[in-house]
């Protein structure tokens, strides 16, 4: 608005200046005619010159006699002649002053004539040219008008751009209220873009904090469940182990005391003793899940142990038309009985998950610090949203499962300083049991927590 008002004021000033110059030209012509009227004629001269006019550019004089019109034409520039001749013709039939104005050579020709007698004509003419600075002022007016249009256009563009960017940010904020992972659009306005980047960073950090909180809540709930399980297991172990030990002792004494027992009775007693031993191992496994340490550790050939467990499970796997293959060698410091039970649980889980005619591949890899036992099958796996639950006690997807096998196996692995993790790549499911290799000093827990989190995310 300021630029538009300035341009208008400047245009008005230019117009006023032009009118003033034209008015001064008219006054000069009238004064010149009055001055010539006061000058006496000089004989019969065709064009008698009056004293020189004080106005620069003024032409005038007294035309008399028959050749006055020709003399008048010779006294003015060629461009003036047609208009002055027309004015002289008008003055011939008028008894008063006649005037005219015409556009000539970029200026305004102001002329006046007065016929005082049939053979005497007073005339004066001046060309009023525009001011030398007029063109500069006109250019300035155009520049001001253009700047006003440019300001309006830039302000309109800025308003539209800012409104669009602000609308996008409002929409992003509304989306982030429901989903912190919603994208935040970038803006062409630098200041709003900085705000968008800040909002996006804040949302990402809030989402990460929320995930950490959920994970911590899950860990806390799991720890509470394990603590409750530990208390239950401790009570059950005390109430069950003592009777089991007493029963097993009496059975052993019965066999030793009576050598004449029938073979069928001895077989039944041996079977009962083996079941008591199995129950005792189950109680020991539950104590490990509840947090109790494993038994005595020693250097162990894991490859030989894995092959032995695969051979023991071979007939059972054959009934399901599943083959177990073992590859690799390695040694670890572990409790042999506990590790055997962990391997049995993982191998059984893989065989049960495999379709008929498939193979379960067990591979041992030694990276210098850790021994990795990877057991892969081509089963369907578990739903991605429930992958983190498979190691929870009593979680199972099998109709007749107890949900303790993988929980016990991971508890045994972690008690040794390793871990048991789940992963899914394409159509292959793998469980990886990590153990510290023989001779390495590893803090309990090892790489398990990070590897497990990565595997479950995968």
Neighbouring residues of 247: CB distance < 8 A, sequence distance ≥ 6: 272, 276
Give the span between the Cα atoms of 434 and 334, in whole angstroms: 11
pLDDT score of 362:
92
pLDDT score of 292:
63
pLDDT score of 457:
31
Give the span between the Cα atoms of 362 and 390, in whole angstroms: 20
Domain residue limits, the chain: 2-131, 178-292, 295-457
Per-residue tokens: 158: 């800025």
Walking along the chain (458 residues) 10 residues at a time, the average pLDDT comes out as: 73 75 87 80 45 65 70 79 85 78 85 83 85 71 82 88 86 84 82 86 89 87 74 70 77 74 78 80 70 73 90 88 90 86 89 89 89 90 75 70 77 87 88 82 44 33
Dump pLDDT digits (tens) for 193-221. Answer: 888 888 888 888 998 998 899 889 888 88
Query: What is the second-level CATH architecture of the domain 295-457?
Result: 2-Layer Sandwich (3.30)
pLDDT score of 374:
93
Dump pLDDT digits (tens) for 124-146. Answer: 898 888 776 666 777 777 887 88
pLDDT score of 10:
72
Handedness of CA 135, 137, 142, 147 (dihedral sign): positive
What is the model's pTM? 0.46
The Cα angle at residue 320 between residues 289 and 361, in degrees rounded to 5: 65
Residue 13: closest CA among 187, 139, 179, 134 = 134
| 336-339 CB contacts, 8 Å cutoff, 24+ apart | 336/298, 336/300, 336/305, 337/281, 337/295, 338/284, 338/285, 338/288, 338/294, 338/295, 338/412, 338/415, 338/416, 339/300, 339/302, 339/305, 339/412, 339/416, 339/435
pLDDT score of 142:
80
């Amino acid at each position: 608005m300021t630029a538009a008002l300035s341009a208008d004021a400047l245009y008005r000033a230019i117009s006023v200046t032009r009118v003033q110059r034209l008015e001064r030209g008219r006054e000069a012509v009238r004064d010149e005619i009055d001055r010539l009227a006061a000058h006496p004629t000089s004989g019969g001269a065709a064009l008698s010159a009056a004293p020189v006019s004080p106005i620069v550019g003024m032409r005038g004089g007294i035309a008399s006699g028959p050749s006055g019109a020709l003399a008048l034409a010779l006294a003015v520039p060629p461009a003036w002649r047609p208009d002055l001749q027309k004015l002289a013709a008008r003055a011939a039939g008028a008894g008063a002053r006649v005037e005219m104005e015409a556009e000539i050579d970029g200026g305004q020709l102001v002329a006046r004539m007065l016929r005082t007698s049939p053979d005497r004509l007073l005339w004066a003419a001046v060309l009023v040219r525009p001011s030398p600075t007029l063109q500069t002022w006109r250019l300035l007016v155009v520049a001001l008008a253009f700047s006003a249009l440019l300001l309006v256009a830039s302000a309109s563009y800025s308003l539209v751009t800012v409104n669009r960017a602000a609308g996008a940010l409002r929409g992003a904020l509304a989306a982030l209220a429901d989903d912190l992972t919603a994208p935040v659009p970038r803006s062409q306005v630098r200041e709003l873009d900085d705000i968008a980047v800040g909002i996006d960073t804040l949302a990402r950090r809030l989402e990460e904090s929320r995930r950490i909180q959920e994970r911590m809540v899950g860990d806390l709930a799991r720890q509470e469940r394990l603590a409750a399980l530990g208390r239950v297991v401790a009570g059950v172990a005390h109430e069950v182990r003592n009777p089991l030990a007493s029963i097993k002792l009496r059975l052993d004494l019965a066999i030793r005391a009576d050598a004449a027992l029938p073979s069928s009775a001895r077989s039944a007693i041996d079977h009962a003793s083996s079941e008591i031993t199995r129950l005792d191992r189950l109680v020991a496994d539950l104590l490990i899940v509840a947090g109790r340490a494993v038994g005595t550790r020693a250097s162990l050939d894991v490859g030989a142990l894995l092959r032995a467990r695969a051979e023991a499970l071979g007939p059972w796997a054959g009934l399901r038309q599943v083959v177990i293959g073992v590859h690799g060698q390695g040694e670890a410091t572990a409790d042999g009985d506990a590790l055997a039970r962990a391997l049995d649980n993982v191998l059984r889980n893989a065989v049960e998950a495999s379709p008929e005619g498939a193979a379960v591949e067990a591979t041992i890899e030694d990276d210098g610090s850790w021994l990795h036992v990877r057991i892969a099958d081509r089963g369907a796996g578990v739903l991605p949203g429930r992958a983190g639950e498979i190691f929870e006690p009593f979680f199972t997807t099998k109709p007749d499962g107890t949900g303790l096998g993988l929980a016990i196996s991971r508890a045994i692995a972690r008690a040794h300083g390793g871990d048991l993790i789940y992963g899914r790549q394409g159509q292959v499911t793998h469980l990886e049991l990590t153990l510290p290799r023989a001779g390495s000093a590893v803090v309990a827990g090892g790489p398990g927590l990070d590897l497990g989190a990565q595997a479950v995310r995968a």
